[in-house]
Structures are given as structure tokens and as C-alpha cells.
Structure 1
Amino acid sequence: MGEIFPLPAESYLSLAPLIVPLVAAYLAQRWSTRSPQRHQTYERVRTMSDTAMIPLMCLLLALMCSAYTPAVLNETQLIPRLAGLYLTYAILAGGAAWFLSKVMSRPERISVTFSAVTRNALIIYPVVALCAQRLAHNGNPEVSLMGATVLTQTLTELLIMVAMTAIFRVRTKTGSVQDL
């Protein structure tokens, strides 16, 4: 690793938010299979974590927005172009996914479409942060844009997902399923 990413060891701690939850989930699932009581405990914890997921994600987005507001405000020409690029991708990927999944049932088509549109940049943010550290170490001046770019992608996708949810919900209520 040192030859690929010549950074201090503490820089690699930025990968912990990716690795620790994966290992914890694996260990919790393995632990829960050993007895019915453990499985019940696991299900209670899983239900609580499912309930807390959206508020925690909102908190994370609020913290990231506040952290990168200066970077976004300094790039008033670049950020709207990025948002337009992400919107264009969502429209093209969503349309292609919907068209290519015609043989599937409606719920499966919706799932495939949402999956094609969402890239969830927050998941790769630790990797972006590690790459930004490496680029900063090498003196690259554009490194400050990396966090703002990920944030712009995430917020654009969030707005697109809200719009898609409204579109699919309206279509379901009106009964004009085949029109989409």
C-alpha cells in the first residue's frame, strides 16, 4: 500500500467508515444464527437501526453541507455544471433502465430504475478523501473540489430521488401504470 498511496498510516483511517460497518454487520449476522434468543435480539437491533437510518443520513448531509459550503460557494461556475451533468446522467440512466427492464414486473422495473440512477457518492466518500489526501500530498490544486463534487452529486441525486418517488407514487395512485 505504501508504494501505491505513500501517505502516513493515519490517512488510511478514512477507510474505517467503509470497513467497520461491513465487518460489524457480518459478525452480527453470524452471531444471530446461533440461537433463537440471539436472533430476536438481532432483529430488535436491526429494526432500531432501520428506524434511525434516515435521521442519521439527514444529520450526515447537514454536516457535510456545512463543511463544504465555502468550497461550493467558491465554485459558482463549476457546481451548476456538475449538477446538470448528474441530472443528465440520471435521466439517461433511468430511461435506459426503465426501457431495458420491460420484461420485469413493475416493482422490479422501479427497483432497477432507482438502482441505475443512484450511485450513492457518500459511500465512496472515504475513498475520495483518501485520494484527495494523496493529491494534496503531491501538490494538486484541484483537490479542494473533490469533497464539493461528491456533495453536489449526493444532493443532486437526493433531489432526483425525491422527484422519482413522487412520479412513481402519482402514477400508482392514478392507475395509469402503463403510460410511464
Structure 2
Amino acid sequence: MVAWLEKHQIWMYLLALVIGATTGLTAPELGSPLAIAINPVLGLLLYATFLMVPMARIGQGLKDFRFLGVLALLNFVLVPIVVFVLTRFIAGDQVLLVGVLFVLLAPCIDYVIVFTHFAGGASARLLSATPLLMFGQMLLLPVYLWLFVGTEFVRSVDFAPFLKAFGFLIVVPLCAAGLTQYAAARTRWGQILADGVSAAMVPLMMATLAIIVASQIFKVSHQLSKLVVVVPLYVAFAVIMIAGGAVVSRAAGLSIASQRAVVFSAVTRNSLVVLPLVLALPAQFELAPLVVVTQTLVELCIMLVMIWALPRILKPQAALRVQPQGS
């Protein structure tokens, strides 16, 4: 069953999206309870992912300055430029602009690691980079918002949820995975636990996708006429960053696995972490959280395409065959 799920995982994820959408649209009263479940199920998914990464490899990733430099260049230099250009056509609507800026300027630190793993990318290196990505966006997001929106708006934002999310979604699952690996190396029950959690990767991913979509789609569907304008913007951002990530990472001479990780990091945004920040904005920005949620729904579909497509686009060069010379 585990092998079958892994072989057909893309179809399973699409099924999870359909189940989530159907549930959210037909039973909207489940939206609030399911929203509460997002972080716990995402934490379990990240625990399962971290469990498959030897802890020693995480420390090694901190020494890979070329990889870290490419991530920083893409997420904190190229992304703001792309976002500024793409948002010019909604610059007159401050609510839409704020929502888009929040979500697109913040690189993902959580499920991007899972998607990278499923696409054969360097998930351990990306995990090592999460402190850089986390604290980089904490420092620079206020600067970008100040440049693009203004000083008064920045003063109204509480950035504390960043640290809370980092602790709950990265530190806690990582420590739990380390303890499980330690137990698995020394006890039979630890090995059974590790094997069971690893086998649950695909079902956990399905549950995460279904819960996110089911908890948010009803609210988005009722504001669709106002939100549809940002959908092409999100798609354009993903396309540009896929190309930009591939070109920059290849030019930097990174391995194929690292190139895939870089592309996923460039495309995937920190929507689940910035959402609490946007929810805490003044009342006139009540539509902004749905702008963020819309990006999440668009991104999940794009991620499934990337899991299938990136291994086919970014793949090792075939070895050149040496033709025998004629006598």
C-alpha cells in the first residue's frame, strides 16, 4: 500500500484537493474547526519529513554557503523586484496590494521542505536554510512594506507570529524527529515508530492539503469577484520564479537536487505564517486575509504540477557515449 501510494501520489494529492474543496463548499460550518487543525497536521507532516533526514546532514547544510547565497539572492533580492513589478496594476487598491505583498515577499519555511522531498530535491539543505529564510524575512519584510506601502502601515503590523510559527512548525517537529531517530537506533519500539511515521508521509500530505482547502475555500468563493484579479498575478509570479530559480541555481553550479530545492524555495511562499499577521491588521483590510488564502489555494495546485514537472526539467545530464573509432 505504501509503495502504491508513493507511485500514485500526484493523483492522491489531486483527490485530496477535490475532497477538501467539496467538503468546504458543502459544509462551510466545518471551516473554523478545520482551520484550527491546520498547524497540528502540518506539524505532523513536517515531523515525518524531518524524520527521513539524518540530523548530521542538517549541520552540513549550514556550511554550504553557495546554496545559502543563492537562496538569499532569489528570495530577498530578485523576489522583491518581481513582486514590485507585478503589483503595479493593483497598486491603486491598497487592500489587495497589502495582501499580495505580505504573502509574496515571505519565503516559505514549512511545507516547502515536504514538496522538495517529494520532487527529489535537497530537502535537508533547505531545512538547514530555514533560520536564514525565517530571520531574513522578519528583518526585511518591514523594509519592503515601508518602501511599497509606507511608514504608517508598517507601524500597525505585529510580527510576533513569525517566531511562534517557527517554534511550532520547525523547532518542535525537528526536536521530535531527532529524539525518534535516537530511539530508533537503540530500541525496537523506536524503529517501529520511525517506520510507521515514514510510511504515513503520503496520507499526511493528503490530509494537510484537504484540510487547508476545506477550511478556506468557502470564504474565498464568496469574494471571488474581488479576488480573481490576483490569481493571474500569483500564476505569473510562480512561472517567473521557476525560470529565475532554475537559471540562477544552474549558473551557480549547484547540484540537480539543490537546483530543485532552490526553485521550490523561490516559488513557495509563507502564507500559513503570514496569515495571522494579516488577520491582525485594522478593519479596513478585512479582505487582505482572503488575498493571502487565495495565494495558498493557487500555490497548492502549482506545487503538485512542480512535483511532477521539476524532476523532468531539472535532471542529471545524460552521460556522453564514447563512439568507437574506425580502424
TM-score range normalised by the length of the shorter chain: 0.5 to 0.7
Q: Whose relative contact order is higher, 1 or 2, with alpha carbons under 8 Å and at least 6 apart?
A: 2
Any idea what the Cα deviations from partners look like across 1:41-77, whole Å, max 9, x if unmatched? 44134224423322211321332234424xx433513
Q: Which runs of 5+ in 2 are unaligned?
A: 1-155, 319-327
Cα distance, 1:119–1:43 mapped onto 2, change above 3 Å: same
* Counterpart pick for 2:275 among 117, 128, 139: 128
Q: Name the residue aligned to 1:73.
A: 222
TM (normalized to structure 1)? 0.64
Residue 284 of structure 2 aligns with an amino acid whose one-letter code is P
Q: Name the residue aligned to 1:114.
A: 264
Q: Name the residue aligned to 1:33.
A: 182
Cα distance, 1:141–1:44 mapped onto 2, change above 3 Å: same
Q: What are the within-5 Å matches in structure 2 for residues 83-98 of structure 1?
A: 83-98=231-246
Q: Aligned residues, how many?
A: 155
Contact kept, 8 Å, 2:278 with 2:289, in 1: the verdict is no
Contact kept, 8 Å, 1:31 with 1:38, in 2: the verdict is no
1:53 lines up with 2:204 in the alignment: yes
3-state SS of paired residue (1:62): helix
Cα distance, 1:21–1:63 mapped onto 2, change above 3 Å: farther
Contact kept, 8 Å, 1:97 with 1:113, in 2: the verdict is yes
1:167 lines up with 2:167 in the alignment: no
> In structure 2, what is the Cα distance between the partners aligned to 1:142 and 1:38?
50
Residue 62 of structure 1 aligns with an amino acid whose one-letter code is V
Q: Name the residue aligned to 1:9.
A: none
Most deviating of 24-33 and 87-96: 24-33
Any idea what the Cα deviations from partners look like across 1:95-137, whole Å, max 9, x if unmatched? 1110111112333322221221111423x1xx523542x33xx
Q: Name the residue aligned to 2:284.
A: 141
TM (normalized to structure 2)? 0.39
RMSD (Å), alpha carbons: 3.6
Most deviating of 93-102 and 103-112: 103-112
Cα distance, 1:163–1:45 mapped onto 2, change above 3 Å: closer
